[in-house]
Amino acid sequence: MFKLVLALPLSLQLVSIADGVPKLDVTASCKGAARAVVRAESEKREKACYETEKAAQDKLGQSWSKFPANDRNFCLTAIKGYAPTYTELAICLEMARDVRQIGEKPEEAVPDKSTPNIPKASRR
């Protein structure tokens, strides 16, 4: 019985991952973003947040099946703690993919040109 109780939430979670991009409630995040700006701009910011999240959801819908199930499960677990967003989910999945690719072919990793090249300190 105890094993069944533990297995049920996991199986339900795996079904939702296999079905496609899960439904996230981005309301808290977008309302928080709206509160973080000048009051006169808050409604505009909240609307922009919803639009951005809808675009991120649509983009994830196109590529969801291309991400490994382990990455999808990890990222969903990682973002669910506070106010999850599709943007955070997409970034997590992209970072997991990129880290894996660097690990597979580190010689092909290209340094980010926007990061300043800081010379190493010389030893005396």
Q: Where are the alpha helices (DSSP H) in the chain?
A: 2-19, 27-35, 39-63, 69-79, 86-104
Domain assignment present for 3:
no
16 or 14, higher pLDDT = 16
Evaluate whether residue 114 is within a structural domain. no
Asked if residue 16 is part of any domain, the answer here is no
Asked if residue 28 belongs to a domain, the reply is: yes
pLDDT of residue 37: 81
**pTM, full prediction:** 0.69
Rounded to 5 degrees, φ, ψ at 123 are -90, 140
Structural domain includes residue 50: yes
Residue 80: domain span: 22-105
**Structural domain includes residue 86:** yes
Over residues 68-106, the pLDDT tens digits come to: 999 999 999 999 888 899 999 999 999 999 998 887 776
15 occurs within a structural domain? no
Answer whether residue 92 is part of any domain. Answer: yes
The pLDDT value given to residue 123: 45
Count of domains forming the chain: 1
